[in-house]
Chains A and B, each alone.
Chain A
Amino acid sequence: MILFLIYSILVYVYSDQHGQGSSPSGAAYAGWMVWQEHNCHACHQLYGLGGYMGPDLTNIAADEIKGKPAYLKVFIKYGSANMPDFHLSDLEADQLLAFLKWVNDSGHSAVAKESVHWSGTYIF
């Protein structure tokens, strides 16, 4: 039990050593709330965690075409053939964009082939 508690604290402290290092902006934090209140993870993944109906959105903000704010905002606001219209306001759509940009800045979801170590683990 003591070992578990010590290990847990180490994980809490060191789980962001290589990451973004910056806290979410007010808009990104509000976008995170929008993400949760509309249960977006039921269909979308972040870092491969979440639902399977829609694409993984970890690095969508970095996509040269789909990541353009205007393009992404149309999807967020009106949905698609598979995604329902959540009737989000312009402000909520902008907040979601800020959240997705913040998530993108935290790292890459896909693991490059070069990161696979001979022992089977990844070295980032």
Chain B
Amino acid sequence: MIQIDRLFARFSLSMLMLSIVAGVTASFAYLFPATFNGILPFHQFRPIHASAALFWIITGAACCVSYFSKRRSATFMVIWMVSIVLIFISYFFNRYGGREYWEFPPLLNLPLLIGWLFFMAAFIRKFSEEAPVYTWMWTSGIIFFLLTFLEQNLYHVPWFRASFLREVTVQWKANGSMVGAWNQMINGLSVVLLMVIGNNKGPAISKKAYFLFFLGLFNLMFNWGHHIYNVPNNNWMRGVAYGVSMTEWIILILIIRDFRRTLDHGRKLRHLVVYRFISAAELWVFANLFLALLMSIPAINRHTHGTHITVAHAMGTTIGINTMLLLAAFGQMMDIDQIADRTKRWILFAIRLNNASLAVFWLSLILAGLLKGYLTVDHADAVFSEVMLKVRPFLEAFTASGLGVMIALGIIACIYLKNTGRISYEDD
């Protein structure tokens, strides 16, 4: 069992490595299509990058939740890893399913589904209503991942494909809520980490923690509509999503209100590598939440939808928040604060490099998106190739800073991969 657990942790970290390497290569393929089209074109790199990133987040979350909850399923881990390997083999043979984020042949969804059911069975077996907030977060994340995964596959039912509007609405409803599902799992991990490193049970049992959990769950279920504001379906769908999204201002206000306390807390825990990851994530939560709130206002979404601002938000959250929190959780599992000082210094350097590179990366995408939005919405007769030419300098800055992100996360992933043997399981 322990061999499979460690392999699962290594597998998750390998997905991170693959994701960053494929991502940077894809951005070069995007900038220089004439060079890459003959070898490996952008449309072949993108699925590798997107799937690796998606599976880094989900596999990493499942790995850490299994570890901290002590509810592990070897069957899940084996089926899950084999399915993902088959997915990348299908990409190698140019076999696609052509769905956003789920770009592999749909048949491979079956083993993923079976694997997840094993994980869910192992996890939910011991659920109690008096459980701390992180258990609620993990449970709701695991259940809603299953529900949205099934919803994502409803397009196999002919009725859903009889209308393009219905198909696109359901597809993005599922995608939007699924992000909320894995966020619940990862947020639960951050609560555990704050509890363990601060030696304080407060974050797991406070009223505020439960309030934020329910607010997150509410948004997971109903705020996905910003993906399809421009799809001409019923007005009430936009109204619900718009109204629900605006409740997230509460989170932003709480972050600002608690800023001083967070700073004091940070001073006490600053020496811990695990906390450095968490504090990096806190910064990106603030930035991306603010961006998400603006994008959730339809009148603003009109200029941002379909532009690089959407990518800024997606990558800002996956790299800045999800990846930082998962690396914090993996770090805690490996007891990374007890590692050699020299290695710790490398990790701290990599966190700083990642933050700086990600800031340039994020801002470049936002500026590219603003320009594209202005040119395509306010100058509808603009020629696409000319718009992209004007946007190009920002995408060059994005690619250059992507190299920084790749180096930073690559350093951390390599150190972690070397140290997975430090993860101790109770049956060790």
Chain A residues with a Cβ under 8 A of chain B? 3-4, 7-8, 11-12, 14-21, 23-24, 29, 32, 35-43, 45-56, 79, 81-84, 102-103, 106-111, 116, 120-124
Contacts and interface: CB of A to CB of B under 8 A. Distances in A.
Contact of A49 (B168, B170, B233, B380): B168
Contacts of B97: 36
Given A51-B46, A81-B33, A110-B230, A29 B166 contact: no
Secondary structure at chain B's binding surface: helix, strand, loop or mixed?
helix
A35 B232 contact: no
A7 B166 contact: no
Nearest to A103: B164
B237 interface: yes
B227 interface: yes
A19 B98 contact: no
A17 B237 CA distance: 12
16 contacts: A8-B151, A8-B173, A11-B170, A12-B154, A16-B166, A16-B169, A19-B232, A20-B164, A20-B165, A41-B100, A42-B47, A42-B103, A52-B30, A52-B307, A116-B298, A121-B235
A7 B172 contact: no
B182 to A, nearest CB: 17
Given A49-B227, A84-B37, A12 B42 contact: no
Secondary structure at chain A's binding surface: helix, strand, loop or mixed?
loop
Contacts of A111: 229-230, 298, 302
A120 B298 contact: yes
Contacts of A12: 154, 160, 166, 170
Interface centre among B96, B160, B230 (most CB of A within 10 A): B230
Given A11-B170, A42-B47, A52-B311, A18 B232 contact: yes
Nearest to B172: A49
A121 B239 contact: yes
A47 B96 contact: no
Given A56-B306, A122-B238, A15 B96 contact: no
B231 interface: yes
B340 interface: no
Contacts of B377: 110
Contacts of B169: 11, 15-16
